[in-house]
Amino acid sequence: MEGTALIEAIKMAGTEPLEIRTDSEFWINVVTKWAPAWKKRGWKKREGEIKNLDLVKVLYELYTTHNVKLVWVKGHAGEELNELADRAANEARKAL
């Protein structure tokens, strides 16, 4: 869900500069460190499959073609908007 949320946030921003603050160090690493290497190798890792490759490709394309800055914040540490996002995610999960 975090990958999808990043995609939607970038789409919503359009061409406007965007700073996304997230506690998902995993998705930040996917976009900024791992995806460039995977793309060079034809979307392959040295070992194993790339999970959620469809999302990775879309997110990487958006990240590299938009003015986006990803900032890691510690989860559950009082970051107001991060706490709000966590509450919203939990409420949405309960509604399912």
Residue 88 dihedral angles phi and psi, to the nearest 5°: -65, -40
Residue 12 dihedral angles phi and psi, to the nearest 5°: -65, -35
pTM score > 0.85 for this model? no
Q: In order of start, what are the domains of the chain with their CATH numbers?
A: 2-95 (3.30.420.10)
Whether 11 shows a pLDDT value over 90: the answer reads yes
Record the tokens describing residue 88, joined without a space: 């919203």
Torsion sign over Cα 64, 4, 56, 83: positive
- Nearest Cα residue to 22 out of 70, 63, 68, 57: 70
Residues 24-69 have pLDDT tens digits of 899 999 999 999 999 999 999 988 899 999 999 999 999 999 999 9
Average pLDDT, the chain: 88
- Nearest Cα residue to 21 out of 76, 63, 81: 81
